Amino acid sequence: MDVKPRLPRGRQFFANPGPTNIPDSILKAVAHVSIDFNDPAFLKVYDAAVAGVKRILKTQHEVFLYTGSGHAAWEAALVNLFSAGDVLLVPETGHFSDSWGKMAKDFGLGVRTLAADWRRGIDFAELRGVLAADSGHAIKAICAVHNETATGMVLPLAEIRAALDATDHPALLLADTISSLGSMEFAMDAWGVDVAVGGSQKGLMLPTGMSFTGVSPKGMAAHAGSTLPKSYLNWTNMLTRRHKSFIGTVPTSLFYGLEESIRLLEEEGLDEVFDRHARLGEAVRRCVRHWSGNNGPSLFCLSPDRYSNSVTAVLMPEGHDAEAVRRIALQTFNVSLGGGLSRLGGKVFRIGHLGDLNEPMILGTLSTVEMALRLAGVPHTPGGVNAAIAYLAEVAQGS
Ligand X SMILES: *Cc1c(COP(=O)(O)O)cnc(C)c1O
Binding footprint of ligand X on the chain (CB under 6 A): 18, 69-71, 96, 145, 147, 149, 176, 178-179, 199
Q: Which of 308, 298, 301, 287 is nearest to 18 (CA)?
A: 308
- Smallest gap from Cβ 367 to ligand X, in A, equals 26
Nearer to ligand X (CB atom), residue 311 or residue 328: 311
Q: How far apart are CA 355 and CA 165, in angstroms?
A: 33
Number of residue whose CB is nearest ligand X? 70
Nearer to ligand X (CB atom), residue 69 or residue 213: 69
Q: 269 φ, ψ to 5°? A: 95, 130
Quick one: which H or E segment has residue 237?
A: helix 235-239
- Smallest gap from Cβ 184 to ligand X, in A, equals 12
Nearer to ligand X (CB atom), residue 103 or residue 378: 103
- Smallest gap from Cβ 95 to ligand X, in A, equals 9
Length of the chain: 399
Q: How far apart are CA 344 and CA 315, in angstroms?
A: 9
> What distances in angstroms separate CA 118 from CA 48, 311, 315, one per listed residue?
39, 15, 12
Nearer to ligand X (CB atom), residue 147 or residue 309: 147
Q: 214 φ, ψ to 5°? A: -90, 140
Q: Which of 341, 349, 299 is nearest to 95 (CA)?
A: 341
Nearer to ligand X (CB atom), residue 176 or residue 260: 176
- Smallest gap from Cβ 61 to ligand X, in A, equals 21
Supply the angle between the helices 384-398 and 359-375 in degrees, to the nearest 10.
170
- Smallest gap from Cβ 70 to ligand X, in A, equals 2
Q: Which of 5, 10, 277 is nearest to 154 (CA)?
A: 277
Task: Find out whether 24 and 153 touch, Cβ atoms under 8 Å.
Answer: no
Q: Would the annotation count 350 as a binding residue?
A: yes
Secondary structure class of 175 (helix, strand, coil): strand
- Smallest gap from Cβ 230 to ligand X, in A, equals 18
Q: 246 φ, ψ to 5°? A: 60, 105
Nearer to ligand X (CB atom), residue 167 or residue 213: 213
How many other β-carbons are positioned within 10 Å of the β-carbon of residue 248? 9
Q: How far apart are CA 225 and CA 150, in angstroms?
A: 34
Tell me 207's DSSP state: P
Nearer to ligand X (CB atom), residue 50 or residue 341: 341
Omega cis (within 30) before 91: no
- Smallest gap from Cβ 370 to ligand X, in A, equals 26
Q: Which residues are annotated as a binding site?
A: 350
Annotated binding site for substrate: which residue ranges? 350
